[in-house]
């Protein structure tokens, strides 16, 4: 059980954004940044409704209380918008980033190719090395680069042992995380920056940045009140000791919190819209302690086809 559960979480590592610059260099009003398109890849964290389109079954994320804050259950794993929605807004993209698999959508300014339950390895397996996993991520990024993409934003794994679904599964109580999974996430994360540094040196015009999602989540679980979250160890919606299961499922009498903006997590492993907006702001404009070697805004305006002048370095602690 433990090996399968760990692998199913850790093998979902391909969470990243791809920025595409237009050649006609239209600038976004008031920001002096070029018009861009935003494409997202990964799992349920960035899924904009693809899982709902792919399956004939009724997915929970297509029904209330998902989308509660926007009164719009549309297949996103949150009570409202997710981080790429906010990044797109800050980038001046005037339309919502659609799920790529939905019919007749406008993909002129980007699309989400993320699908819930997707993994880098195709399907969860009983055991897997971090080297199998990291190489597959490198291969996937290389494929996109060879197809013409040049600007990449890679998000590290969260502290998986602090997710409500993991706390509930491993009976950690309310005050402790499951550190074995946190250690596994850290082992993966420490390989991402060096891998991308090598790719930037070897691939002309390859540009990237790394969002330290691990510590962004960890800070909010350890010092929740500093970030105006009242509850960070259990979910707003679900059942069980940490309300980690069953949100949105039929015939499941899930609990639903009164005020979702006081929670870090909406369900057992996905964040509330309030948290997602924070992540979007950090992605777009935070300093190198959070996202480096540059933030998304700096990455967008960085001259295309130029070699990167800075490389990824291990981060120090930050308050963001």
Q: Which residues participate in catalysis according to the annotation?
A: 44, 267, 270
What are the tokens at 154?
A: 């890679």
Q: Are 83 and 283 in contact (CB under 8 A)?
A: yes
3-state secondary structure of 102: coil
**Residue (of 320, 23, 291) closest to 148 by Cα position:** 23
Q: How many CA atoms within 13 Å lie on the side-chain side of 93?
A: 27
3-state secondary structure of 11: coil
Determine the Cα angle at 159 with ends 70 and 9, to 5°. 80
* Phi, psi values for residue 231, rounded to 5°: -130, 125
Residue 156 DSSP one-character state: P
3-state secondary structure of 266: coil
Instruction: Region of 120 please: left (phi>0), alpha (psi -120 to 50) or beta.
Output: alpha
């Amino acid at each position: 059980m433990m090996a399968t559960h760990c692998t199913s979480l850790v093998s979902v590592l391909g969470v990243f954004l791809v920025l595409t610059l237009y050649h006609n260099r239209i600038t976004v009003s008031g920001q002096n940044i070029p018009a861009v398109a935003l494409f997202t890849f990964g799992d349920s964290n960035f899924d904009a409704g693809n899982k709902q389109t792919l399956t004939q079954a009724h997915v929970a994320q297509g029904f209330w209380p998902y989308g509660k804050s926007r009164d719009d259950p549309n297949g996103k794993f949150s009570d409202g918008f997710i981080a790429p929605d906010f990044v797109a807004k800050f980038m001046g993209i005037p339309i919502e980033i659609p799920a790529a698999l939905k019919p007749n959508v406008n993909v002129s300014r980007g699309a989400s190719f993320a699908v819930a339950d997707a993994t880098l390895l195709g399907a969860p397996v009983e055991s897997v090395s971090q080297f199998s996993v990291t190489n597959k991520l490198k291969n996937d990024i290389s494929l996109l680069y060879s197809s013409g993409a040049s600007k990449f934003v890679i998000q590290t794994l969260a502290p998986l042992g602090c997710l409500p679904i993991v706390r509930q599964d491993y009976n950690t109580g309310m005050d402790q995380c499951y550190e074995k999974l946190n250690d596994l996430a850290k082992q993966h994360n420490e390989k991402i920056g060096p891998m991308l540094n090598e790719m930037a040196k070897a691939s002309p015009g390859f540009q990237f940045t790394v969002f330290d999602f691990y510590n962004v989540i960890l800070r909010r679980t350890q010092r929740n009140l500093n970030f105006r979250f009242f509850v960070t160890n259990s979910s707003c919606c679900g059942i069980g000791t940490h309300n980690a299961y069953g949100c949105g499922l039929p015939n499941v009498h899930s609990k639903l919190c009164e005020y979702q903006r006081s929670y870090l997590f909406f369900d057992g492993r996905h964040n509330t819209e309030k948290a997602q907006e924070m992540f979007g702001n950090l992605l777009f404009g935070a300093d190198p302690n959070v996202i480096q070697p540059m933030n998304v805004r700096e990455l967008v305006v960085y001259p295309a086809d130029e070699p990167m002048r800075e490389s990824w370095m291990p981060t120090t602690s930050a308050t963001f």
